[in-house]
Amino acid sequence: MISPFLKIYSYLKKDTLLLVKRKKYLYLFILLPLIIATLFLFALNPKEYDIKVGVCDFDKSDISGMAFEDLRGFSPVVLGGEHCLENMQNEIRLGEIDIGIEIGKGFSKNLKDLKQSKLIIYYDNTDITFANLISWKIDQSLQPFKTHIIDNLNTEFGLKIGSIRGGVNLALEFSDFNENINRKIEKTDTDLKSLENMNTEFLTNPIWIDYRAIYGEDLKKDAGIVYIFPILAIFIILMLASTSIIYDKNTGFIQRVKVSSSLIFYIFSKLIFFTGLVAIQFLIILIMFMFYGAKYAISPLAILQLIIFIGIINTTLGLIIGLIAENEGIAVLFSLMISFPLMLISGIFFPIQALPGTIQWMANILPLHYQIIAAKQVLLFGKALSGTWIYFAISLSALVYYLIRKN
The ranges assigned to domains in the chain are: 4-43+224-406, 51-204
How far apart, in whole angstroms, are the C-alpha atoms of residue 96 and residue 116? 31
User: Is the dihedral angle over the CA atoms 36, 33, 308, 336 positive or is it negative?
Assistant: positive
Helix (H, G, I), strand (E, B) or coil at 256: helix
Q: Tell me how long the chain is.
A: 407
pLDDT tens-digit map of 207-231: 444 555 556 555 555 777 888 899 8
Which of 8-17, 75-84, 142-151, 390-399 has the highest mean predicted lDDT (pLDDT)?
390-399
Task: Compute CA distances 265 → 62, 289, 304, whole Å.
Answer: 78, 36, 22
pLDDT exceeds cutoff 70 at 163: no
Q: How far apart are CA 30 and CA 46, in angstroms?
A: 24
Please tell me the predicted confidence (pLDDT) of residue 245. 92
DSSP 353: G
Region of poorest pLDDT, from 104-108, 268-272, 334-338: 334-338
- Measured CA to CA in angstroms, residue 355 lies from 220, 225, 345, 367 at distances of 21, 22, 8, 18
C-alpha span between 278 and 232 (Å, rounded): 9
Between 38 and 250, the higher pLDDT residue: 250
CATH number, domain 51-204: 3.40.1710
How do residues 296-333 score in pLDDT, each as one tens digit? 878 889 999 999 999 999 999 999 999 988 788 878 87
For 101, phi then psi, to 5°, come to -125, 125
Q: Enumerate the β-bridge partners of residue 103.
A: 57, 119
Q: Answer for the pair 400, 316: CB distance below 8 angstroms, yes or no.
A: yes
Contacts of 100 (CB under 8 A, 6+ apart): 53, 54, 55, 56, 85, 88, 89, 91, 92, 121, 122, 123
Confidence of residue 11 (pLDDT cuts 50, 70, 90): confident
Supply the Cα-derived Rg of the chain in whole angstroms.
33
pTM (2 d.p.): 0.63
CA distances (Å), 126 to each of 91, 99, 407, in order? 15, 13, 54
Distance CA 166, CA 379 (A): 64
Contact 121, 141 (CB under 8 A): no
> Would you give the distance in Å from CA 156 to the centre of its chain?
42
- Strands 99-103 and 74-78, by their bridges, are unpaired
CB count, 10 Å around CB of 107? 20
Tell me the pLDDT band of 49, cut-offs 50, 70 and 90.
Answer: low
Average pLDDT over residues 120-134: 67
Q: Which residues contact 9 (CB under 8 A, 6 or more apart)?
A: none
Rounded CA separation 388/385 (Å): 9
Long-range CB pairs of 38-42 (<8 Å, 24+ gap) are 38/288, 40/224, 40/228, 41/221, 41/224, 41/288, 41/289, 41/292
| Residue type at 252 in one-letter notation | G
Q: Check residue 319 and give its pLDDT.
A: 93
Number of other residues whose CB lies within 10 A of the CB of residue 169: 13
Residue of higher predicted confidence among 208 and 65: 65
**Can you give the pLDDT at residue 209?**
47
Torsion angle of C-alpha atoms 365, 338, 288, 373, degrees rounded to 10: 0
pLDDT band at 193 (very low <50, low <70, confident <90, very high): low
Average pLDDT over residues 55-83: 79
Q: CA–CA separation, 214 vs 216, rounded Å? A: 6
Helix, strand or coil, per DSSP, at residue 387: coil
pLDDT band at residue 176 using 50, 70 and 90 as cut-offs: low
Beta bridge partners of 76: 53
Average pLDDT, the chain: 77
Three-state DSSP state, 121: strand
